[in-house]
Chains A and B, each alone.
Chain A
Amino acid sequence: GAVVSQHPSWVICKSGTSVKIECRSLDFQATTMFWYRQFPKQSLMLMATSNEGSKATYEQGVEKDKFLINHASLTLSTLTVTSAHPEDSSFYICSAPNGLAGETQYFGPGTRLLVL
């Protein structure tokens, strides 16, 4: 089946630094990818829609300048958490719909971010 990878799987950084997370669709092309944030024992919260060839669409309340999204190619989207602070510590997950499978979305394994 379709596979989506994320890198890194976990990262620890100091407060004030920036962290880049990659999301790749390994065996299909994705013009759209989605970025979610998941807090412990809570649901996934959609942060933004990453669009290949155009700007990302952010959900209400998500800071565009804080969470930079770049859809570099049909198989790669990146999320950069800029000037990270401890409250940005979370589990970040991406997903990509496989057009051939209709609405089915394929999820990456997630990236655990800890900001000290």
Chain B
Amino acid sequence: GNSVTQMEGPVTLSEEAFLTINCTYTATGYPSLFWYVQYPGEGLQLLLKATKADDKGSNKGFEATYRKETTSFHLEKGSVQVSDSAVYFCALSGGNNRLAFGKGNQVVVIP
């Protein structure tokens, strides 16, 4: 079945540092890939998405490229801010809008 794997553990970094969160997936067919963000006390929000191989999703300075050859969708941001502190979830949709999520990564940005 479909599954998503995110790197283990929280991520702590200083303001203006470069952020990378790894995400790999296993799926049949050609899924759509998503990054969702959950700010403290709020519901999940779509951060960006890509629907086919080599597509790059981007939003708020974050980027992720759909890599079919490596089955990856790593999230990157060149210069993080304190306001980026949140939990980030990688997800895929294999059809019928059913989402499979990774475990999520807590990102803490220190001033």
Taking Cβ atoms with an 8 Å cutoff, the residues of A that contact B are 4, 32, 34, 41-46, 49, 93, 95, 97, 103-110
Which residue from B43, B100, B104, B106 sits with its C-beta under 8 Å from A93? B43
Judge whether B93 and A43 touch: CB under 8 Å: no
Given A42-B103, A43-B102: A32 touches B43 (CB 8 Å cut-off): no
- State the main secondary structure of chain B at its contact with A: strand
Considering the complex, give the chain B residue whose CB is closest to the CB of A46. Answer: B98
Q: Which 10 A-B pairs have the closest CB atoms?
A: A107-B44, A109-B43, A107-B43, A43-B103, A97-B97, A43-B101, A44-B101, A103-B93, A103-B32, A104-B46
Task: Please tell me if B69 contacts chain A, counting CB pairs below 8 Å.
Answer: no
Task: Please tell me if B89 contacts chain A, counting CB pairs below 8 Å.
Answer: yes
13 A-B pairs in the complex with CB atoms less than 8 angstroms apart? A34-B99, A41-B104, A43-B103, A45-B101, A49-B98, A93-B44, A95-B44, A103-B49, A103-B93, A104-B49, A107-B43, A109-B42, A110-B43
